Structure 1
């Protein structure tokens, strides 16, 4: 089964690794869409700390990842699923229900996030360091 997942993966941390590894266990092949810098800015009104090229390189280096591409629009998820021939979309449960409209194209699974870790929290901690 071919899995697809998406994320910004800024300041790569254990939560990112956990979701990708758990998503891979659902199938045999995993494709990861890494949000572009422009897409991240449109969602969060800030650019990622790490640029899209570096974030794609980090995700590509993971042994469990088979394929990586640049996600340029949230509205293109259905197209990305078709192009990458995904059988299942896996996302963190903070997106619960948001991609149910894609169920006619593929299975949709929401996995629990790793507790007590997020990129936003890491950025705040780093900002506080004198």
Structure 2
């Protein structure tokens, strides 16, 4: 089984995010999606994230493309 992993903030999930997930999914059999935590975003200076981690995880899960979702700390 070929596992693929991709990371992102996935704030306000949009078409570009979905295309990224579709392309990643097509590369293997199992897609792991890492979503940045609020603390990780703040440490990188990304202070304009609108959605909570839980909301972003729910949105990515709803696409049906991620086999596993992890939190990027």
TM-score exceeds 0.5: yes
Cα distance, 1:48 vs structure 2: 1.2
CA distance in 2 between partners of 1:37 and 1:47 (Å): 10
Confirm or deny that 1:31 pairs with 2:32: yes
Larger radius of gyration: 1
5+ long unaligned stretches in structure 2: none
Aligned to 1:127: none
State the superposition RMSD in angstroms.
Answer: 1.1
- Higher normalized contact order (CA 8 Å, seq sep 6+, divided by chain length): 2
Whichever structure has more helix as a proportion of its residues is 1
- Structure 1 stretches of 4+ with a deviation exceeding 6 A read none
Aligned to 2:18: 17
5+ long unaligned stretches in structure 1: 73-130
Give the TM-score, by structure 2 length. Answer: 0.91
Give the TM-score, by structure 1 length. Answer: 0.53
